[in-house]
Structure 1
Amino acid sequence: MNQSNQEDFQKKIKIRFHDKKLLTTALTHSSYANERKLSRGKDNERLEFLGDAVLELIMSDYLFHTYKDEPEGKLTKMRASLVCEPTLAFCAKDLSLGDYLLLSKGEDLTGGRERDSILSDAFEAVIGAVYLDQGFEEARKFVETYLLQDVDEKVLFYDAKTSLQELVQSFSKQPLTYELIKEDGPDHQKTFTVEARLGEKVIGTGTGRSKKSAEQTAAYEAMKHKDGILR
């Protein structure tokens, strides 16, 4: 990573790393390390492993103390929704994290900077790097700032298709379907647009890098305006 990119990212997250190599490693995808024949441990996979564990503890502590009356099962479900790949990728995109990643030329050309799996892993790797460089409390602040905003909305997004199906079944006999209405872009970097339909009525529209992602977004948009569906 060049110096200006590293400086820009540190300003964005408002953290100055003592060990800049930790940040570089957190943003180095395995494809780049392999392409450059870097030595083992120079990609972000080990930091992602650590960040995943740190994130789970932070989330468990937050949910335990915030939702004091919720049973263990509900807390487990909420935690799963907040640390799942789509949610972490969504947070990574808010940070424009993909712009700072070191990827191989092939991975870059095939849309790696927008790929949920790469972004979610890098987000966890950054958490791991912050934890090692700054300690647990700074890692907690990072998670609170970039993940624990709009928790209820993120939980809703994770469960959107299931929640919408349950809502529709509770008041309507019309079928809930998802219709692909548009595909844009080259084969390696397609964008899909899907409509959620109740019978013939369009109740939500979503766009994503996969059909599944687009359906989830369409369901989420429908759930956000569920009062209109119920009329």
Structure 2
Amino acid sequence: MSRRDLSELERALGHRFEDASLLERALMHGSARGELGHDDNETYEFLGDAVLDLAIAHLLMHRNPQFDEGELSKRRASLVREETLAAIAAEFDLGRWLLLGKGEEASAGRAKPRILAGAYKAIIGALYLDTCYDTCLAIVAQHFDGYLDRGHDDDDHKTALQELTQKLHKTVPGYEVVDASGPPHAREYEVAVVLEGRELGRGRGSSRKRAEQAAARAAAQQLGDGAAGEK
């Protein structure tokens, strides 16, 4: 298998790999192992799972010294669950880069939350092998910006929308910034939710993450109303 140009994905992830083969392997789903004759990403996923647990615990303790062990555990569980990791993976359009077997390719595997979440963990494992824990910690902090300060019971409209689109359309939505206005210290963003080339809704907020949540809420409302009308 010839080496792909993964520079676009590396820019999105915020890291240029010294050993590009680590990232390539992290994108190799188990379904493609026999067909392509290369090692899959399962052991990297195992490693990334452990690195993520540690990094998220580290970040939560640093940001919330007032929390006890129980609250920290609940918040970490919410952050490392499949739905959250799949939502983060979708922000990088990770499904586009996956190497899948014919069966998963035919069954919309690129949009499956389980596969997206596993691939994201594998990438974190590859990142750890390519660098060190401190670098992983900094990059995880960037990826989880907008998630870390949210309570485990807070509304997560992006995850809810992803679950809804997966159920109704077997795919996940994307987010596009359509406007950013105001001075640097008081920026306001407008974000559109797009599903299969169709805009589902827009939202505004003081950060991109907040605008995405607002847009996801509007899109989920529209999809929910549409599904109800079809019954």
The count of aligned residue pairs is 172
Aligned equivalents of 1:99, 1:141: Cα separation in 2 = 25
- Structure-to-structure mapping, 1:139-150, within 5 angstroms: 139-150=136-147
What letter corresponds to residue 52 of structure 1 in structure 2? Answer: D
The question of whether the paired residues in 2 share the 8 Å contact of 1:51 and 1:128 is answered with yes
How far does the alpha carbon of each residue in 1:92-150 deviate from its partner, in whole angstroms, 9 at most, with x for none? Answer: 00011111110112211211111011000110110010111011111112211112333
Provide the rounded CA distance (Å) in 2 between the counterparts of 1:24 and 1:125.
Answer: 10
Match status 1:131 vs 2:128: yes
Q: Does 1:19 align with 2:19?
A: yes
Unaligned runs of 5+ in 2: 159-163, 173-194, 196-212, 219-231
Q: 1:204-229 CA distances to partner (integer Å, 9 max, x unpaired)?
A: xxxx9xxxxxxxx9xx949xxxxxxx
Question: Is 1:107 aligned to 2:104, yes or no?
Answer: yes
Report the 3-state secondary structure (helix = DSSP H, G, I; strand = E; otherwise coil) of the residue aligned with 1:51: helix
Question: How many Å apart are 1:3 and its aligned residue?
Answer: 4.6
User: What CA distance in whole angstroms lies between the structure 1 residues aligned with 2:53 and 2:145?
Assistant: 13
Report the structure number with the largest CA radius of gyration.
1
TM-score by length of 1: 0.65
What amino acid does structure 1 have at the position aligned with 2:98? L
Q: The residue matched to 2:73 in structure 1 has which SS?
A: helix
Q: Report the equivalent of 1:51.
A: 48
- Specify the SS of the correspondent of 1:151: coil
Aligned residue number for residue 32 of structure 2: 32
CA-based RMSD? 3.2
CA 1:57/1:78 → structure 2, altered by over 3 Å: closer, same or farther? same
Shift of 1:68: 1.2
Q: Distance in 2 between matches of 1:147 and 1:2?
A: 32
Cα distance between partner residues in 1 of 2:82 and 2:69:
22
CA contact (8 A) 2:28 2:99 kept: yes
Q: CA 1:117/1:65 → structure 2, altered by over 3 Å: closer, same or farther?
A: same
For 1:158 and 1:75, locate their aligned partners in 2 and report how far apart those are by CA, in whole Å. Answer: 18
Change (3 A) 1:159 1:9: closer
> Which amino acid letter does the alignment assign opposite residue 67 of structure 1?
N
AA aligned opposite 1:36: L
